[in-house]
Amino acid sequence: MDHVLACVGILVAFTPLFLLAVLPLKLTNGGDGLPPGPWRLPVIGSMHHLMGESLVHRAMADLARRLDAPLMYLKLGEVPVVLASSPCAAREIMRVHDVAFASRPLSPTVRRMRPPGDGSSARSASSSCSARAASGRSAASGRRRWPASWARSGGSETSATVIQWAMSELMKNPRVMRKVQAELRDKLAGKPRVTEDDLSDLKDPNYWDDAEVFRLERFANSTIDFKGMDMEFIPFGAGRRMCPGLAFAEAIMDLLFSTLLFHFDWELPCGMTASELDMIEEMALTVRRKNDLHLRPILRVPQTQTSSALLFCERAQTSSVFLF
């Protein structure tokens, strides 16, 4: 009897793999007016198509690319998912049909993660923050009004991840690092530190070529905006459900990142070369580095009134590494 159960278990376990290898990968009708999607199995739905890749976002992108499906319907177990993977599909969801999608019911997972209440306090805070940003007040003046739970889970995690990846990409591309630092130090020559007012002088007002390649020059003369108007690049989302902390994240990250590059040169520890720096991703609340980034700061532009962040970096020189 045990042998029979074991055989049945093996059969059940390997049947999806067998079907995945034998059946062709093609789109099927989603039914009930839903977009098409890959063929599904009972219980697990479309999850067998994501096997073999630990990073779900890459698995879904690869699936959409192989099926040539900019709008695709999946079922992750019993959870229905519509995946938009092109600017046109994103525009349909977040611009043309924004009202319908913004008012869709929350999933049980999102409902547990969101702050208590009906969301009116968050919308009120968002409106207040946006008004302050539009009126030219500093980011710091509005941050005190932000709901604490959202600030901790959203703002700190995402902003830290962006800084970490940006530093990783610059260390991986020394030529771009030197170019960015030269621009900063040339524009701010003679100034003791970077301020919010300095940042405005450093910014230049379908699909990306080589989207996986780190190429800052692509943004130099581009008219594509990242604030939800151009669907080719929407790191903060778009429409009614876009991230309400955009203005403050932009100010904080720009100021911190510019400060780190203006005052310090950066080296990899222990003689490591740029080609040896790993860029392995890990899925969490955001897609972050799997391994911490260790760098050695070298002070180049001291300032008279040292901030706590700069003081930490200066002290880190004595311990040889700075941890991101």
**Of the candidates 251, 272, 265, the residue with the CA atom closest to the CA atom of residue 314:** 265
Provide the residue type at 55 as one letter.
Answer: L
Residue that wins the pLDDT comparison between 73 and 13: 73
- Mean pLDDT computed over 136-165: 61
Q: Which ranges in the chain belong to alpha helices (H)?
A: 2-22, 56-67, 87-91, 98-102, 108-113, 120-134, 139-143, 148-150, 157-172, 174-187, 196-199, 246-263, 308-316
Indicate yes or no: pTM above 0.85: no
pLDDT reported for residue 11: 52
Average pLDDT over residues 156-175: 88
Is residue 195 over pLDDT 90?
no
- Kindly tell me if the per-residue pLDDT of 224 is higher than 70: yes
> Both tokens of residue 299?
């002070």
Confidence of residue 218 (pLDDT cuts 50, 70, 90): confident
pLDDT at 274: 92
Residue 204 pLDDT: 44
The Cα 169–Cα 261 span in angstroms is: 13
Residue 84 scores a pLDDT above 50: yes
CB 61 within 8 Å of CB 287? no
- For the ranges 51-60, 63-72, 150-159, 310-319, the lowest mean pLDDT is seen at 310-319
Q: Which residues are annotated as a binding site for heme?
A: 243
The number of C-alpha atoms within 13 Å of 146 and in the hemisphere containing its C-beta is 26
Work out the burial of residue 226: count CB atoms within 10 Å of its CB; fewer than 13 is exposed, 13-18 middle, 19 or more buried. middle
Q: Where in the chain is the domain with CATH 1.10.630.10?
A: 152-299
Which residue, 316, 184, 201, 145, is CA-closest to 262? 184
pLDDT for 233 equals 81
Pick out the residues of the known binding site.
Answer: 243
Q: Do the beta carbons of residue 45 and residue 75 sit within 8 Å?
A: yes
From CA 47, how far away is CA 77, in angstroms rounded?
7
d(CA 295, CA 312): 13
Over 70: is that where the pLDDT of 146 sits? no
pLDDT given for residue 251 in this prediction: 80
Residue 266 has pLDDT above 90, yes or no: yes
Closest residue by Cα to residue 200 from 138, 243, 145: 138
For 24-55, how does the pLDDT look when each residue is reduced to its tens digit (9 = 90+)? Answer: 566 676 667 788 888 888 889 988 888 877 88
Q: How far apart are CA 283 and CA 57, in angstroms?
A: 9
Integer-rounded Cα Rg, in Å, for the chain is 24
DSSP characters over 78-98? TEEEEEE-SHHHHHIIIIITH
Region 298-304: what's the mean pLDDT?
A: 80
Give the whole-number percent of the chain exceeding pLDDT 90: 15
* Eight-state DSSP code of residue 233: -
CA angle 122, 126, 130 (to 5 degrees): 175
Name the average pLDDT for the chain: 76
End-to-end CA distance of the chain: 55
Min mean pLDDT across 54-58, 254-258, 317-321 is at: 317-321
45 closest CA partner among 30, 65, 62, 67: 30
With cut-offs at 50, 70 and 90, classify the pLDDT of residue 297: very high
Give exposure, 56-80, as e/b (b: 16+ Cβ within 10 Å): eeebbeebbeebebbbbbbbeeeee
pLDDT at 33: 79
Residue 273 banded pLDDT, cuts 50, 70, 90: very high
Residue 57's pLDDT band, with cuts at 50, 70 and 90, is confident
Count the residues in the chain.
Answer: 324
Task: Specify the CATH number of the domain 152-299.
Answer: 1.10.630.10
Mean pLDDT confidence for 53-73:
88
Average of per-residue pLDDT across 234-240: 85
